[in-house]
Amino acid sequence: MKIDQIKKLHQKKYRQEFGCCLVEGEHLVLELENAAKHNPKLAAATLYVTSDYADWSSPFEKVEVSAKQMASMSDTKTPQGILAVVPMDAIAPTNHEQLTAIYLHEIQDPGNLGTILRTLAWFGGFRLLLSAGSVDPFNPKVIRSSMGALFHVPMELDVDITTLPERFNAIGCLDMEGASLSAPEFKACDCYIFGNEARGVPREYLDSLNAKAFTIPGVGLIESLNLATAVNISVYERQR
Amino acid sequence: MKIDQIKKLHQKKYRQEFGCCLVEGEHLVLELENAAKHNPKLAAATLYVTSDYADWSSPFEKVEVSAKQMASMSDTKTPQGILAVVPMDAIAPTNHEQLTAIYLHEIQDPGNLGTILRTLAWFGGFRLLLSAGSVDPFNPKVIRSSMGALFHVPMELDVDITTLPERFNAIGCLDMEGASLSAPEFKACDCYIFGNEARGVPREYLDSLNAKAFTIPGVGLIESLNLATAVNISVYERQR
């Protein structure tokens, strides 16, 4: 891939056009190389390095570039001198129908999505479904805040919420009112729906989804938990 | 307070000199006004508004400023036209010795601290202890990401970790190895220690603290959970 194409991968439009995303920095590249041990499709990644990383041994094809070229490709003010271009369709592990699904409806914050991916990878046994209109999981900010967890979590994008009832046996949703998270029915669901940071769960669909509402009991001093916190606590409770 | 002093409150140095911090935007000011109903010390806050908010009724003294003055005071690119200057020693509710303590050692990320404050306010029954060298909780980014939860959580700053054993009966710490979080001993602690985002718990102190280690069991695909996620799950488990 050409240098001036790579720098365009910071924009979703070009990630979709070229089918690739950027993985920047030593730590994330190491995570990518580790993930490649279990996911042969990742061998299609290409590494771009400055002379600082000329000796870096990698399973990926390696291209040396100048510091100036690296700066033009990089998302950060002080580039580390190492980045990988990765085909997006190679990144997520194969989806398994038996994994518990976490469905996020129009999640917006890259840091929230990155943190959630880290939690799903930590616990294992989960897959992520994202609605249309969600933040792009291949956004460099998401990849960075996921600390590489993105390479370990099966994902489906642009999932239509109305298709969930035909795919899952029991749908739960997190809401301001509902049964306690520690109720035994909570663990019986195979898909959990979480709403957007500002608007919460999409009420217009809940009836037709036949979703059971659960809540994380609080003392009422503040309006809501952070979205990622609500997801992370739910995931913890589900596997507890 | 003068306009050119207020704009300096974005810097910790001047917050300490003037003893005040900034609370920006309609949502946070509303949260502050709500908190003032239970915390009379907050009546010492001063509100600065542009003509857009001239009719805003508030328990606080109100000063009208020009849009240009507001822009010079504000932390955001598009100021909402309303902010409050609040004495920092009025903000946190009175500390209660019987509340469970969450001790954060050199936490760095403002978003992590804000999210943790939100979680502590949500569940209630907790207080926050921060070590020296932690991010300033009166940093505008922390206040913003706490969504006002800062006004509801008792806090102590610059707490020396070596003083914890004389103050608490049973100290727990979250670490990569330890008993499971769901072990009954976990709930028996009255103080929980969490380490810095990159370095984890401060091992050099752990022996003398006689801290019991706990872990959030994972499948080992990634190195760690996000710090705020580890705190939030622990807080959930503690009050479960």
- What is the CB neighbour count within 10 angstroms for residue B106? 18
Asked if B224 is an interface residue toward chain A (Cβ–Cβ < 8 A), one would say: yes
Residues in A closer than 8 angstroms to B145, CB to CB, are 226
Percent with pLDDT over 90 in chain B: 85
Is residue B92 within 8 angstroms of chain A, CB to CB?
Answer: no
The string of DSSP codes covering chain A is: --HHHHGGGGSHHHHHHHTEEEEESHHHHHHHHHHHTT-GGGGG-EEEE-GGGTT---SSEEEE--HHHHHHH-SSSS--SEEEEEEHHHHSPPP-TTSEEEEESS---HHHHHHHHHHHHHH-SEEEEE-TTSPPTTSHHHHHHTTTGGGTS-EE-S--GGGHHHH-S-EEEEEEEEEETTSGGGGG-SEEEE-BTTTBS-HHHHHHHTPEEEE----SSSS---HHHHHHHHHHHHH-
Percentage with pLDDT > 70 across chain A: 100
Interface test with A, best of B221, B223, B232, B238 (most A CBs within 10 A): B221
CA A232/CA A171 separation, integer angstroms: 17
Name the residue among A31, A149, A225 with its Cβ closest to that of B122. A225
Instruction: Considering chain B, tell me which residue range(s) the CATH 3.30.1330.30 domain(s) occupy.
Output: 3-91
Q: Which single residue is written with the structure tokens 């002379």?
A: A51
- pLDDT tens-digit series, residues A82-124: 999 999 999 988 878 889 999 999 999 999 999 999 999 999 9
Instruction: Report the topology of domain A3-91.
Output: 60s Ribosomal Protein L30; Chain: A; (3.30.1330)
| Interface residue B221 vs chain A (CB under 8 A) | yes
- What does the H/E/C string look like for B22-46? EEECHHHHHHHHHHHCCCHHHHHCE
Query: Per-residue pLDDT for B233 more than 90?
Result: yes
User: What type of residue is B128?
Assistant: L
The identity of residue B144, as a single letter, is: R
Asked if A80 and A56 touch (Cβ cutoff 8 Å), the reply is no
Q: Do B152 and A240 touch (CB under 8 A)?
A: no
What is the distance between the alpha carbons of residues A162 and A159, in angstroms, rounded to a whole number?
9
**Could you tell me if A198 lies within 8 Å of chain B, comparing CB atoms?**
no
Query: Is 80 exceeded by the pLDDT of residue B182?
Result: yes
Out of A222, A236, A237, name the one closest to residue B121 (CB).
A222
pLDDT of residue A78: 85
- Determine, for residues B218 and A124 on separate chains, whether the beta-carbon distance falls below 8 Å: yes
Contact between residue A163 and residue A190 where contact means Cβ atoms under 8 Å apart: no
The 10s digit of each residue's pLDDT in A41-75 is: 999 999 999 999 999 999 999 999 999 999 999 87
Tell me whether strands B20-24 and A82-87 are parallel, antiparallel or unpaired.
unpaired
pLDDT given at position A38: 87
- Is some CB atom of chain B closer than 8 A to the CB atom of A119? yes
Cα separation, B116 vs B119, whole angstroms: 5
Task: Tell the CATH topology of B100-239.
Answer: Alpha/beta knot (3.40.1280)
* Intra-chain end-to-end CA distance of chain A, in Å: 45
Whether residue B182 lies within 8 A of chain A, CB to CB, comes out as yes
**Of residues A115, A182, A224, nearest to B226 (C-beta):** A115
pLDDT digits (tens, 9 = 90+) for B205-222: 888 899 999 999 999 888
Are B119 and A152 within 8 A, CB to CB?
no
Tokens of B159: 């707490």
Mutate to test the interface with A, among B224, B236, B238, B239 (most CBs of A within 10 A): B236
Q: Assess whether pLDDT exceeds 90 at residue A144.
A: yes
Q: Do B119 and A226 touch (CB under 8 A)?
A: yes
**Measured between alpha carbons, how far is B94 from B156 in angstroms, rounded to an integer?**
10
Domain with CATH 3.40.1280.10 in chain A: 100-239
A147 in B contact zone (CB under 8 Å): yes
Q: Closest by alpha carbon to A121, among B197, B220, B68? A: B220
- Range A165-186 average pLDDT: 95
> Looking at chain A, which residue has its C-alpha nearest residue B152?
A221
- Taking residue A8's Cβ as centre, other Cβ atoms within 10 Å add up to 16
B96–chain A Cβ distance below 8 A for any pair? no
The DSSP 8-state label assigned to residue B8 in this structure reads G
Q: Which of B195, B170, B174, B177 is nearest to B237 (CA)?
A: B174
Distance from B220 to chain A by nearest Cα, in Å?
7
CB B83 within 8 A of CB B29: yes
Interchain contact A228–B (C-beta under 8 A):
yes
Reduce the DSSP state of residue B93 to 3 states and report it.
coil
Residue of B122, B143, B180, B238 to mutate when probing chain A, most A C-beta within 10 A = B122
Q: pLDDT tens, B68-97?
A: 999 999 877 888 999 999 999 999 888 788
String of DSSP letters for B199-235: TBS-HHHHHHHTPEEEE----SSSS---HHHHHHHHH
Q: What integer pLDDT is reported at residue B145 of this predicted model?
A: 94
Q: Do B222 and A152 touch (CB under 8 A)?
A: yes
Contact between residue B15 and residue B9 where contact means Cβ atoms under 8 Å apart: yes
pLDDT score recorded for residue B75? 76
B87 shares contact with chain A (CB less than 8 Å)? no
Q: Which residues pair with B180 in a beta bridge?
A: B215
Return the pLDDT at B77.
81
Tell me how close the Cα of A85 comes to any Cα of chain B, in angstroms: 21
The predicted structure's pLDDT at residue B94? 80
